[in-house]
């Protein structure tokens, strides 16, 4: 019996080595490793990887585990198993009596009794774990541990060979390469989206380099005694923002049920942050990428003027006066982003009465592993270290691009960092970014003029207005 197990382990490792050295994708390699681990172990197996903040563990691939267990929620690396912290194998002989189980009720429901966690080590640092879930009380032998450790080492090799080399080519100088880029998790996991709109939204998050997890947790909403009769599973969780997002492309009159569930979730779980992304919000996000209904339309004139030239002049002057007072005795470095800020910054700095320096940042797409992502293509020429830096924006809506730029500038250790924006479209906010200076809080409308464009048109309008948009088609399919 022992000889048969040893033979099975040997064949599995040999097959996994061949896969790691093949031309298959990273996801395919890891899937074979996970399945190959589960079959001879006769147990459920999950590959969990640390998020980019190295605080939470995310199920990336699994075999033989029920869906409700996979949707139990993210795991705290400092509370679950602890093999990530120690870098050593962890054996849990009886899950019903061990405090290292973060979700004991879910483990009991899944019939899991014994567990084994082997860390995945990369450059001497734990980046994830292969976890074994047995439905009987099991004493894991040294042979079992050696086998799973070998498979964990192959996971590390697959990550390094298939992904980190590509990430190194795209990374900025000085950026750590150990699973800090969300692309690592994206390439490693297996995701089947329920609706095309969810996949499109995932690509938008990829562009902004925002880490996401698809349907990580199901929230019970109603019970009949001890039995759960209704649950709600949000579409996405964004670890860096601690935010759940539910997408709907339904007609407004059909969104009532989702709103009811969100209200119920907020009442039962007040600590959970969640937002509903409506069809109009979703269409406008897609339009930035040249796809979706709004991207197929053309503007025909201005339906109404939102802020006149006089109103803009008055507000810019008031902002300049406030900035001059706040930065008296200092020489701020004002940083513009992309092209939309040009009109605003040009008028703003002419009204500021203290010395200022100006610089610029530009961003663009780059391709990594068949995904488009955002990257800073032109960094600042002036040094940021120990400077009082102010980012100048034309408009802030989702906040995702701005969040990326803030992290980039913080890494350069400025003395202070603030944001001045002409327009704040708070209704569309996803990433929570601090705005110290705001010109106008703009309604949830598509706006052009005074540097803001629609497909490179209308930047030179002296006012800010709402264009007429003719939708070519609507997609009313629901996810």
* Euclidean distance between CA atoms 12 and 19, whole angstroms: 11
Q: What is the pLDDT of residue 477?
A: 41
**CA 453 remoteness from chain centre:** 27
Model pLDDT, residue 288: 59
Place of tokens 């603030």: 418
pLDDT at position 171: 47
Dihedral over Cα of 100, 106, 109, 111: its sign: negative
For residue 341 the two structure tokens come to 């800020």
How far is the C-alpha of 416 from the C-alpha of 228, rounded, in Å? Answer: 50
User: Helix, strand, or coil here: 319?
Assistant: helix
How many CB atoms are closer than 10 A to CB 29? 23
The closest of 295, 257, 258 to 277, measured between CA atoms, is: 258
- Rounded-to-integer distance, Cα 155 and Cα 329, Å: 55
CB 205 within 8 A of CB 191: no
Would you state the pLDDT for residue 77? 85
Position 242 scores a pLDDT of 83
At which residue do the structure tokens 């940083």 appear?
A: 335
Q: Which two tokens stand for residue 222?
A: 């109603």
- Tell me which residue has tokens 């400092």: 78
Q: How far apart are CA 447 and CA 435, in angstroms?
A: 20
The pLDDT score that the predictor gives to residue 232 is 93
Two structure tokens written together for 467: 């264009």
Q: What is the pLDDT of residue 266?
A: 93
The values of phi and psi at residue 310, to 5°, are -65, -45
What structural domains does the chain harbor? 2-169 (3.30.450.40), 196-293 (3.40.960), 304-469 (3.40.50.2020)
Contact assessment for residue 183 and residue 369, using Cβ atoms and an 8 Å cutoff: yes
pLDDT of 219: 93
Please give the pLDDT value at position 173. 44
Nearest to 47 by CA among 124, 114, 127: 127
Query: What is the C-alpha end-to-end distance of the chain, expressed in Å?
Result: 50
pLDDT for the residue 142: 93
Q: What is the distance between the alpha carbons of residues 400 and 293, in angstroms, rounded to a whole number?
A: 22
Tokens of residue 416, six digits? 């202070």
Q: How far apart are CA 320 and CA 353, in angstroms?
A: 8
What's the pLDDT score for residue 180? 42
pLDDT at 209: 66
C-alpha–C-alpha distance, residues 317 and 325, integer Å: 13
List, for residues 262-274, the tens digit of each pLDDT value.
999 999 999 999 9
| pTM reported for the whole predicted model | 0.64
Residue 150: predicted pLDDT: 95
313 an active-site residue?
Answer: no
Catalytic entry in 397, 424, 444, 453: 397
Q: According to DSSP H, which parts of 110-195 are helical?
A: 142-159, 165-170, 182-188
Q: How far apart are CA 435 and CA 365, in angstroms?
A: 25
Q: Per-10-residue mean pLDDT for the chain, 479 residues long? A: 78 91 85 93 92 82 90 85 90 90 90 94 89 94 94 91 55 44 61 83 75 88 89 89 84 78 93 84 64 57 82 93 94 86 89 93 62 70 93 89 87 94 88 91 86 80 79 38
């Amino acid at each position: 019996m022992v000889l048969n197990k040893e033979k099975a382990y040997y064949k599995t490792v040999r097959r996994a080595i061949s896969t790691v050295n093949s031309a298959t994708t990273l996801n395919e390699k890891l899937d074979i490793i996970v399945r190959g681990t589960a079959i001879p172990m006769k147990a459920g197996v999950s590959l969990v990887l640390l998020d980019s903040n190295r605080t939470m563990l995310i199920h990336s691939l699994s075999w033989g585990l029920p869906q409700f267990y996979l949707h139990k929620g993210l795991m705290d690396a400092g509370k679950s198993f602890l093999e990530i912290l120690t870098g050593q194998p962890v054996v849990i002989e009886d899950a019903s009596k061990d405090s290292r189980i973060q979700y004991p009720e879910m483990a009991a429901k899944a019939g899991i009794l014994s567990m084994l966690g082997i860390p995945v080590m990369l450059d001497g640092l734990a980046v994830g774990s292969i976890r074994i879930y047995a439905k009987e009380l099991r004493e894991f032998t040294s042979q079992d541990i050696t086998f799973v450790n070998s498979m964990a080492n192959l996971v590390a090799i697959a990550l390094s060979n298939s992904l980190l080399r590509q990430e190194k080519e795209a990374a900025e100088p000085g950026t750590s390469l150990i699973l800090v880029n969300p692309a690592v998790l994206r390439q490693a996991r297996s995701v089947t989206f329920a609706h095309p709109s969810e996949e499109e939204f995932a690509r938008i998050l990829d562009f902004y380099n925002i880490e996401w997890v698809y349907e990580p947790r199901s929230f019970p909403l109603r019970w009949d005694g001890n039995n759960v009769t209704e649950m709600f599973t949000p579409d996405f969780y964004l670890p860096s923002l601690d935010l759940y997002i539910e997408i709907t492309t339904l007609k407004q009159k059909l969104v009532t049920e989702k709103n009811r569930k969100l209200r119920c979730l907020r009442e039962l779980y007040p600590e959970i942050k969640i937002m509903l992304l409506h069809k109009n919000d979703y269409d406008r996000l897609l339009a930035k990428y040249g796809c979706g209904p709004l991207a197929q339309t053309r503007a025909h004139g201005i339906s109404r003027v939102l802020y006149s030239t006089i109103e803009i002049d008055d507000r810019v002057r008031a902002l300049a006066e406030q900035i001059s007072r706040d930065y008296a005795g200092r020489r701020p470095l004002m940083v513009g982003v992309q092209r939309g800020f040009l009109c605003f910054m040009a008028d703003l700095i002419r009204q500021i009465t203290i010395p200022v320096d100006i610089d610029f940042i530009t961003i663009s797409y780059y391709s990594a592993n068949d995904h488009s992502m955002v990257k800073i293509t032109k960094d600042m020429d002036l040094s940021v270290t120990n400077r009082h830096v102010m980012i100048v924006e034309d408009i802030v809506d989702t906040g995702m691009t701005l969040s990326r730029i803030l992290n980039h500038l913080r890494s350069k250790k400025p003395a202070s960092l603030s944001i001045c924006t002409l327009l704040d479209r708070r209704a569309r906010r996803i990433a929570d970014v601090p705005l110290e200076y705001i010109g106008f809080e703009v309604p949830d409308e598509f706006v052009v003029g005074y540097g803001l464009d629609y497909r490179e048109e209308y930047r030179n309008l002296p006012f800010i207005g709402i264009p007429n948009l003719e939708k070519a088609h609507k997609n009313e399919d629901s996810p």
